[in-house]
Structure 1
C-alpha cells in the first residue's frame, strides 16, 4: 500500500478502534488457486498477542476451507469512513485554481498467520459474542440470542461453519484525511463532506488536524 508519512497512522488504539467500528474485513489469501478474498465479520481481541488477534468463521461449504493451511500468511483489510472530495470545497481553489479531486478514506491492513479452529466450543463462543455485540449495535428492542432457537437447530447451524483465528503480526493504517492541505481547505472539505452525509469522515478530518 502506498503510504506517505503524513497519511500514516501507527497508534494501536486508533487502528483497533477502526477495526472494532468496522468489523467486516476482507480476508485476502493466496494459494495454488491464486488470490482470493472473502468478506467476514471479525471479532478483535486487542489484548491477545503482540498486536491483537482476529476471530471469525467461514461456511464449511466455502471452497476457501480447502485452500487454507495452518499458519499460512494472510491479509485482512478493514475500511472505515470514505468519500469523494471536490476541489470546489477548497477556498484556495477559487483563488488559485490549482486543486484537483481526491478521495479521503481510512483503512487498516492486518497482516498475520491463520489458524483453523474446527471445534464446536470455539465456534459457539464466537457466535455468541458476535451476536451479543451486533444485536446491541442494531438497537434491537429484544436482542436475538441463540437460546431463541432450539438447541438442535443451533447445533446444526454451528456444525456448518468453521472457526478461524488470525494472530496479527503487523497493523498498517492509512488515514488519508487531507493532512497535506491548508487548514482552511481542510475545514472546507470537511464541511462539504458533512453536508453530504459523511459526518464520520468530516469529524475524522477535524480530529486529524487537531492531532487527535
Structure 2
C-alpha cells in the first residue's frame, strides 16, 4: 500500500482501536489455488504476540482453510470508513480554483502468518467471545445457551478456526492532513451535513489537531 508520510499512522494502539471498532475484515490468501479473498469478522487479542493476534472462523465448506498451510503469509484489510470529497467543500477552492476531487478513508493492513485451528474448544471460545461482543448492545443479548446444546454442537462442527499472528501493521489515515485547516474543516462539515459522520467527524478532529499544533483554531 502506498502511504505518503502525511497519511501514515504508525501507532499500534491507534490501529488496534480501528480494528476493534471495525472488526469485519477481508482476508487475502495466496494458497494452492491462487489468490483468494474472504470477508469475515475478527476478534483481536491485542496483548498476544508482538503486534496482536487475530482470531476468526470460516465455514468448513469454505476451501480456504485447506488451501493454505500453517505458517503461510496472509493479509487482512480493515476499512474504517471512506467518503468522496468534493472540491466545492474547500474554502480555498473558491479563491484560488486549485482543488480537485478526492476520496478520504481510514484503512489498516495486518500482515501475518496463519494457523488453522480445527478444534472444537478453540471455535467454541471464539464464537462465545464474538457473541458477547456483538450482542452487548441488544436489549436482550443472545447467548449460546439460548439454543439447545446439540444444535450448538452441530453448528460448531460446521466451522473451522483461523488464527493469524500479526507480524506487521500498516495504517493509512487520509483526512486531508496535507491541506489547510479551513479546507479540512470545510470538507468535514459538509460530510456531516450529508450524514457521512464517520469521516466527517474524523476530519473535524484532524482540523482541530492541526490548528492546535499551529497555535491557531479552526474557523
Q: TM-score, normalised by structure 2?
A: 0.93
Structure-2 residue corresponding to 1:126: 126
Q: Distance in 1 between matches of 2:5 and 2:102?
A: 17
1:75 maps to: 75
The aligned residue for residue 185 of structure 1 is 183
- Say which SS state the counterpart of residue 109 (structure 2) adopts: strand
Paired with 2:167 and 2:132, the residues of 1 have a C-alpha distance of 28
Would you say the 8 A contact 2:85–2:104 is kept in 1? yes
**How big is the alpha-carbon RMSD for the aligned residues of Structure 1 and Structure 2?**
1.1
SS in structure 2 of the partner of residue 111 of structure 1: strand
Q: CA-to-partner distance for each residue in 1:71-122, whole Å, 9 max, x for gaps?
A: 1000000000110000000001111111000000000000000001111011
Match of residue 206 from structure 1: 204
Which structure 1 segments of 5+ residues have no match? none
TM-score (norm 1): 0.96
Matching residue of 1:26: 26
Output the CA distance in 2 between the equivalents of 1:208 and 1:121: 44
State the match for 2:138 in structure 1: 140
- For 1:27-176, list aligned pairs within 5 A: 27-136=27-136, 139-176=137-174
Q: Give the secondary-structure state (helix, strand or coil) at the position aligned to 1:65.
A: helix
Structure 2: segments with no counterpart, 5+ residues: 213-219
Deviation sequence 1:144-184 (CA, Å, 0-9, x none):
01100100000000000000100000000000000010011
Give the whole-Å Cα distance in 2 for the aligned partners of 1:70 and 1:11.
Answer: 28
Whether the aligned pair in 1 keeps the contact of 2:32 and 2:68 (CA below 8 Å) is no
What's the offset of the Cα at 1:33?
Answer: 1.8
**CA–CA distance in 2 between the matches of 1:77 and 1:140?**
27
Write the distance in 1 (CA, Å) between the matches of 2:111 and 2:188: 31
The structural deviation recorded for 1:207 is: 2.5
Deviation at 1:66, TM superposition (A): 2.0
1:171 and 1:194 mapped to 2: Cα distance? 29
Q: CA offset at residue 68 of structure 1?
A: 1.5
Q: Which moved more, 1:60-69 or 1:78-87?
A: 60-69
d(CA) in 2 for partners of 1:66 and 1:47? 28
